Amino acid sequence: MQPILKVENLTKVFKSNGRPDFTAVDHIGFELMPGECLGLIGESGSGKSTVANLITRLTDLSAGRVVLDGQDISSLSGRGLRDAYRKMQMVFQTPTESFDPRRRLGDGIGESLRNFGNCRAEVKERVAELLVQCGLTPDFAEHYPHQVSGGQCQRAAIARAIAIEPRLLICDEATSALDVTIQKEVIQLFGRLREQLHLSILFICHDIALVQQFCDRVLVMYKGKIVEEGVPDEVIQAPRNEYTKRLIESIL
Amino acid sequence: MTPTVRKPKIIKNSVRTRLIVFGILAVLLVICSLLSDHLTPYDPYLQDLSNAKAAPSQQHVFGTDRYGRDMLSRVIVGSRTSIFSTLLLVAIITAVGTVIGVFCGWHGKKIDTVLMRISDMFLAFPGLVFALAVAGVLGGGLHNAIFALAAISWPKYARIARSQTLAQKETPYLRAARLSGSGTVKMLAKHVLPNIIGPILVTSMLDIGTMMMELAGLSFLGLGAKPPIAEWGSMMSENRALFTTVPWITLAPGLAIFISVMIFNLLGDTVRDYADPRTRGR
């Protein structure tokens, strides 16, 4: 079976004047199979979010390849890249800031639908469906991001991400800004959507317990490198890498 | 689960009310200046030396100037020159400055550095001196005065637009918009511009007063509106020497400037509040 996402030799070097270059992501590679949920854990600064930005091409790659559903997207731009976004969407860490403060939630959710050629009435109807699918009511489309709570806003962000029915969903710390009970609900929502839409998920997170509960496979990242890979239960019970051991000890 | 929504507690439409009130006042001002020819009680250019420097009375509400011209009529007619040239000037510098600033902030790299150094150069140059130089080359007149002031005033707007654009550039919602398949032009027009236009509009509204005074200053130096054309600034300058003997003579144009600047400033504040949904409820 062909992987939905294949990352080869992915590297990001941040250059700055005067100071030495900083390698945020250091030649990493992994594969994500259709329907799989892959966790990516590591401390802050380990390069997890940069990986998300590189895969979605929001940041330019220094080296390496990103293959999405058999298509190399690492040198795409403009229209080609926009078409790639039909297959790949992202949920951000800060729900409220991921919506334009001057536009209603419905507008943000429907933006991709409009961009990919749906008419206004269709979009409105679809947005209402999406909101219900994500556990909100259709009238949320008329609210501004500052009027709703973080959890509600993150649900709306998830609705936006699944609007064009992508095959790959990247969750960049999507539950970190939420409190524990809401976190649980959002995780349940992800699980439900994953089944309904046959989503593959790259779940970036620093919470090992959450990853253990939700992911099929986990990658541990440290200083820009992948130091360990495996089934969450095994990685947590029998960590092979020195850093992974410390990471797990610090939590248990 | 029944989702609920926080509602603003304070009276909902007060900003809208203010916007309507000040908007109507500003529109009235513009309409007055448009119809100024039909509103004057006397011919604003008719001299009557036997009735010069008359005190305010029922016939001449604001008195007459040293040539016996009715001040009220001159103020009404002068509104066209003053308000329209000022609005035109502010519109030009706002548009030019914003376009340059957004482009610089978004694009970055070399072209940003070059354009910003040019704007620094203009910011470092004394405005009136530059205007004098332009007028020296092109000759005096209202058009050249507007051109000269526009040439030195855009950098302020470019700076604001650039810094605002930089602040917006890395926000998650722009990245989300990118992922939603929006192109650069659409993102700039739909997301960046509406989010940065508030401070720029407020600056331009507040600049209306300053620009009115600067145009008046150039008129005073003979580089703007030329006599006998009625213009508020030049009317004040013309009658400045008579201030000690007939103090009311500068009252009418002074009041006119004061009131119109006030209206535009208040409108500017309200527009800023209204443009931001977070303060709209207040």
Q: What is the DSSP letter of A36?
A: -
The Cα-based distances of A117 to A80, A104, A122, A187, B71 in angstroms read 16, 20, 10, 31, 61
**Interface check B113 vs A, CB under 8 A:** no
Which positions in chain A touch B6 (Cβ < 8 Å)? 147-149
Statement: residue B66 has pLDDT above 80: no
The two structure tokens encoding residue B40: 């004057």
Residue B3 contacts A, CB cutoff 8 Å:
yes
H or E stretch covering B53? none
Count CA within 13 A, CB hemisphere, residue B148. 28
Query: Are the beta carbons of A169 and A162 closer than 8 angstroms?
Result: yes
Q: Taking CB atoms and an 8 Å cutoff, what residues of chain B touch A157?
A: 176
Question: What CA–CA distance (Å, rounded) separates B235 from A162?
Answer: 65
CATH of B14-34+71-280, one of 3.90.180.10, 1.10.3720.10, 3.40.190.100, 1.10.1040.10: 1.10.3720.10
* Residue B223, CA distances (Å) to B85, B87, B149 in order: 14, 18, 11
β-pairing, A5-14 vs A22-32, is antiparallel
| A 187-206 → B contacts, CB under 8 A | none
Q: Where are the domains of chain B?
A: 14-34+71-280
For the beta carbon of residue B246, count every other beta carbon within 10 angstroms.
Answer: 18
- What confidence score (pLDDT) does residue A115 get? 84
B residues 170-199 near A, CB within 8 Å?
A: 171-173, 175-183, 186, 191, 194-195
- CA nearest to B50, candidates B63, B66, B73: B66
Neighbours of B31 (CB within 10 A): 11
Three-point CA angle A94, A193, A32, nearest 5°: 80
Please state the rounded mean pLDDT for residues B23-38.
86
Query: Once rounded to an integer, what is the mean pLDDT over residues B185-198?
Result: 86
Assembly ipTM: 0.84
The predicted structure's pLDDT at residue B209: 74
Per-residue pLDDT, B276:
67
* DSSP 8-state assignment for residue B80: I
Q: pLDDT of A124-179, one tens digit each?
A: 888 888 888 888 888 888 888 888 888 888 888 888 888 888 888 898 888 888 88
The answer to whether A115 contacts chain B (CB < 8 Å) is: yes
H-state helical runs in chain B: 14-34, 36-39, 71-79, 85-107, 109-124, 127-138, 142-169, 172-179, 184-187, 193-220, 232-238, 251-275, 277-280
